[in-house]
Amino acid sequence: MRKNRYSLFLVLILTITYSVCFAQAKASKEPEYKYVPDNQELYNTIVAMDSTFFYAYNTCDLNKQAAIYSDNIEFYHDKGGLMTVKQDLIEGTRNNICGKVTRELVKGSIEVYPVKDFGAIEMGLHKFHNNTEKENTPSHPSKFIIFWKNNNNIWTITKVVSLH
């Protein structure tokens, strides 16, 4: 009986060891995802527009933000709901963001996809820092999607999806 237990224990240990080694080998063979833009010029344009818009956001340049937002903006926020009135979005920024919150892009996270006869979709990660909290309070990355419309080389934001 004791010999059977020892054999069973040995088989169990060998099975677990094999399973762990096999899982590690399989995980190391899966390719790591790395985004490469299809259109580098479009990518550079959208990254520049993102930078322009969020510089205005961080410095509370509401006129610049309003100029970049489409008149038919749709802003989907997982916690705040849907906003479709441009002026309400600008006023919300004035009242809740200006001087209180700054946005930091997660470096290297932007992906840009062309949309035929429309413009582009930008996806990425960013962090928001509440300036009323203690310095170095951690901020966790959140996802965003921005729909950019190109009308004769004038880029406007038509939709935003903000997920926290």
Hey, where are the domains in the chain?
Answer: 1-30, 40-163
The string of DSSP codes covering the chain is -HHHHHHHHHHHHHHHHHHHHHHHHHHHHSPPP----S-HHHHHHHHHHHHHHHHHHHHT-HHHHHHHEEEEEEEEETTTEEE--HHHHHHHHHHHTTTTEEEEE-TT--EEEEETTTEEEEEEEEEEEETTSPTT-----EEEEEEEEEETTEEEEEEEEEE-
pLDDT at 59: 97
Chain segment 141-157, per-residue pLDDT in tens: 999 999 999 999 999 99
Chain segment 101-129, per-residue pLDDT in tens: 999 999 999 999 999 999 999 999 999 99
The dotted CATH code for 40-163 is 3.10.450.50
pTM of the model: 0.80
Chain segment 53-93, per-residue pLDDT in tens: 999 999 999 999 999 999 999 999 999 999 999 999 999 99
